Amino acid sequence: MLNIVVLVSGGGTNLQALLDAKAAGQIPNGEFVRVISSAAGAYALERAKNAGIQGVVVERKGRTAEEFETALLAELEAAKADLIVLAGFMTILSEKIIEKYPEKIINVHPALIPSFCGKGFYGLKVHEAALEKGVKVTGATVHFVNEIPDGGRIIAQKAVDVLDGDTPEILQRRVMEQAEWKILPAAVAKLCEERK
């Protein structure tokens, strides 16, 4: 059984998709042992609590990058993390953390990498860029995290149609429902199965 730690910064909708998949028996070889939030008021912590998973705050605000990293590493080590899932985590991890967990950190990105990715492309900004460009298809990607933002090896992708009249908010919701919430739990299940 792999120890899974989920890193969050906000509402935790992707975390909820993971917890629902676990509850439905779809992630049999992994156990969610900790949810770490970079923001104290994140609703994701409530979701963790409701699922009986320890939630921890490692505040990014008011800390140097080094202080934040040291605190985050201490929590990951305490949780004996085998797999780290970035689920709406709004901080780019340093090489120090990435080197300690090679090919053990995954992220879900709300576009089909290599489109609309890299530094500065997160949240609604991704969907605004897709609509501005006029693409007819977008989607989501699960990938390993390396030192290049959104640059790690791709694990899974799922395409989602862009429809006439879409706003960034409507498109964001469709990408979450049709892609992110499906491929993220499936990727976690697959990695846990391969590494058990």
Find the mean pLDDT for residues 89-113. Answer: 94
Domain locations along the chain: 2-195
Taking phi first (over 0 means left), then psi (-120 to 50 degrees means alpha), and beta for anything else, what does residue 112 get? beta
Average pLDDT across the chain, whole number = 96
User: Which pTM value belongs to this model?
Assistant: 0.95
Cα–Cα distance for residue pair 108/143, rounded to 1 Å: 7
Poorest-pLDDT segment among 1-5, 59-63, 190-194: 59-63
- Of 161, 120, 144, the closest CA to residue 195 belongs to 144
DSSP reduced 3-state for 159: strand
DSSP reduced 3-state for 174: helix
pLDDT for 110 beyond 90: yes
Find the mean pLDDT for residues 127-155. Answer: 97
* 109 catalytic residue (yes or no): yes
Cα–Cα distance for residue pair 26/82, rounded to 1 Å: 18
Share of the chain above pLDDT 90, in %: 93
Grade residue 186 by pLDDT with cuts at 50, 70 and 90: very high
Which is catalytic among the residues 109, 127, 143, 174? Answer: 109
Residue 30 one-letter amino acid: G
- Of 76, 79, 73, 16, the closest CA to residue 48 belongs to 16
Cα–Cα distance for residue pair 196/194, rounded to 1 Å: 6
pLDDT for 196 beyond 90: no
Topology given in CATH for the domain delimited by 2-195: Rossmann fold (3.40.50)
- Of 105, 2, 8, 88, the closest CA to residue 48 belongs to 8
Share of the chain above pLDDT 70, in %: 100
pLDDT attached to residue 184:
98
